[in-house]
Structure 1
Amino acid sequence: MNTEDHRPQSDDEADGAQNDSRDESERRLRNAPDDGEVMRDYFAFNEIFARVLSSADHELAASNRYLFWSALGAGAGLGLTFVARVVFTEVAGEESPGLLGNLLYPVGFLIIVLGRYQLFTENTLTPVVLVLTRLASVASTLRLWGVVLAANMIGAVGVAALLAWFDVFTPERVAKAVEMGRHAHEQGWFDLFSKAVIAGWIVAAMVWLVHAARDTISKIVFVYVLMYFIGVAGFYHIITSSVEVFYLAFTQSDIGFFPLFPTFVLPVLLGNTVGGVTFVAVLNYALFAEHEDSDLFQRYGEQLSAKDWFFGSAARRISR
């Protein structure tokens, strides 16, 4: 028998084996996928960012006519959220929308996300990251926001009027709808703003996760869970919450319609915008800034000059 095969390893041989093991580990780490090309059901952070940029490019390049009608449908679609809250709250016997009353709060958002309608709070994420990277102008984003917000609000007013002037609700559900509207209307300006900031953050985070999802089921789960959270927590969304107070104004003589805009619509609008932009778009851009010289980022073309970035009147199509 060859005794050399069983002799103990020397210190040099042991050190050599450890070095070989370390080199193998480092080699495997260098070869690990970091761009999602191998794990096709998973997007890396910069790939999600690229998908957001592409979506924003599409939205900014859309015509005012398309944006208006799509956003009008979105405003009307979110009226279903109000209907669902009223019906489920009354059926569940809850004094105010709770776990059961908010069960279908996400229904309007599911219609919008899966149907690709234009919703203002969704657009607080995608165009802003495009502007932050100086691939689109501030003016083009303001155009998008103006058209979409106006159409969203028109849709919300239309649904509130329809529900108030036609026999859609039973008397019991009318009482619940009025109670919900009064609860929102009685909130203070800063309370509305504060709760709207969190709602804007959640909606923008939902948009980011939807861009990270590859299949429809995942998107449905993301939308349902996060939007249900908004309803249960009592946060305020500019369109769904506006439907509530508009309904109140159309059914109660002591509530004026136009005073709602400075006292309710404005703080919720500002809160949603601040939440969406600050907590999601800016933070995500800050994280991505480290990779702005990567091939993935460079394929989106040259950045705009300072003048074009601020005053440009139209979105520039990103080079593919």
Structure 2
Amino acid sequence: MECLPPASIAESMVASGERKANLSVAHLLILGVLAGAYIGFVGQFFTIVTSDLSQYVGIGLSRLIGGLSFSVALIMIVLSGGELFTGNSLLAMAAFSHRIRWSRVARNWAWVYVANLLGALLLVVALFGTRQYATNGNAVGVNALRLAVAKVNLSFWAAFLRGILCNWLVCLAVWMAAGATDTIGKAVAAMLPITVFVASGFEHSVADMFFVPMGLLLKKVPSVVAAAGSLPGIEHLTWGSGLFIRCLLPVTLGNLVGGVVFVAGLYWTVYLRPTGDRSC
């Protein structure tokens, strides 16, 4: 397997940013909904895989396998096409290079964020309707509910920092996949950083658009709530303050910092910043 050198990846990121910034609203919505849906499919896959795994292999190996399972989401998006808000932090490289305006970056982020949310919610409704949460005596539903409760009970700064670390790795995965020149190389490149972020428990805003709403629906299912037992903090699992204020706000801000500063900004500085702009 061969790959492009980092300087060439940086150039390709700028060209990709130009293209993405000029997509029509219709295309942004379609590709954004697809990416949100792919996250939802794999979110359900992750929930099933990890629903009882730790009791057999321990928490560490369970997290590793869960991370590997969730990496399928970015592989699907990279190989099949999709607009993902977190990965689109890399559009900042084109703006740093003055190839697009920041207003075009903000336009892309806004429409893709909304589309990702719509795609994730579509999968929440569809998968809730399949009643897979009842699998293994409601073990899958209990796992989903616990995941959601944990996410809305993080402090603002914990969620913000986990968001930074998450999207540093997600954008690194996109960067590495862009450098691969074949399908297997792109899949492996996308898989490795995503496994690290998921196994580490970092926070991804688009994934949370699936996990928290699924928990909100399951909160209304008596059999799941009874099987879960006592869940401290379940009162914070709400649509308004729980999903948008306690979860998505800090995580989204952290994701932007992680992607824009630690990947787009630093690699632009090293590989693309004009020599004349550098001060001694």
With normalisation by structure 1, the TM-score equals 0.74
Pick from 239, 244, 247 the counterpart of residue 257 of structure 1: 239
Matched, 1:164 2:128: yes
Matched, 1:277 2:260: yes
Q: Which amino acid aligns with 2:152?
A: H
Within 5 Å, give how 1:213-252 maps onto structure 2: 213-252=180-219
Preserved contact between residue 71 and residue 190 of structure 2 (Cα < 8 Å)? yes
**2:168 aligned partner:** 201
SS in 1 for 2:84: coil
Preserved contact between residue 141 and residue 218 of structure 2 (Cα < 8 Å)? no
Provide structure 1 residue ranges, at least 5 long, that are not aligned to the other structure: 1-39, 294-320
Which is helix-richer, 1 or 2?
2
Pick from 42, 45, 58 the counterpart of residue 6 of structure 2: 45
Partners of 2:65 and 2:82 lie apart in 1 by 27
**2:78 aligned partner:** 113
Pick from 31, 40, 43 the counterpart of residue 82 of structure 1: 43
Q: Which has the higher contact order (CA 8 A, sep 6+)?
A: 2
Instruction: Report the CA distance shift for 1:251/1:220 in structure 2 as closer, same or farther (over 3 A).
Output: same
**1:179 aligned partner:** 146
Q: Which amino acid aligns with 1:176?
A: N
What is the aligned residue count?
Answer: 253
- Report the Cα offset of residue 41 of structure 1: 3.9
- Report the Cα offset of residue 271 of structure 1: 0.4
Provide structure 2 residue ranges, at least 5 long, that are not aligned to the other structure: 221-234
Instruction: Report the CA distance shift for 1:101/1:133 in structure 2 as closer, same or farther (over 3 A).
Output: closer
Partners of 2:180 and 2:210 lie apart in 1 by 30
- Report the Cα offset of residue 263 of structure 1: 1.2
Instruction: Report the CA distance shift for 1:42/1:220 in structure 2 as closer, same or farther (over 3 A).
Output: closer
Partners of 1:290 and 1:57 lie apart in 2 by 17
Pick from 1, 24, 27 the counterpart of residue 63 of structure 1: 24
Larger gyration radius, structure 1 or structure 2: 1
Partners of 1:212 and 1:93 lie apart in 2 by 35
Within 5 Å, give how 1:281-292 maps onto structure 2: 281-289=264-272
Preserved contact between residue 97 and residue 273 of structure 2 (Cα < 8 Å)? no
Preserved contact between residue 84 and residue 105 of structure 1 (Cα < 8 Å)? yes
Preserved contact between residue 52 and residue 139 of structure 2 (Cα < 8 Å)? no
Amino-acid identity (%): 25
- For each residue in 1:171-221, what CA deviation from the matched residue of structure 2 results, as whole angstroms up to 9, or x when unmatched? 221111111111222211111111110001111111211221111111111
Q: Which amino acid aligns with 2:189?
A: F
- Report the Cα offset of residue 265 of structure 1: 0.5
**1:146 aligned partner:** 110
- Report the Cα offset of residue 292 of structure 1: 6.2
- For each residue in 1:89-143, what CA deviation from the matched residue of structure 2 results, as whole angstroms up to 9, or x when unmatched? 1252448752233331111111111112100011101x21110011111111111
With normalisation by structure 2, the TM-score equals 0.84
Partners of 1:105 and 1:45 lie apart in 2 by 26
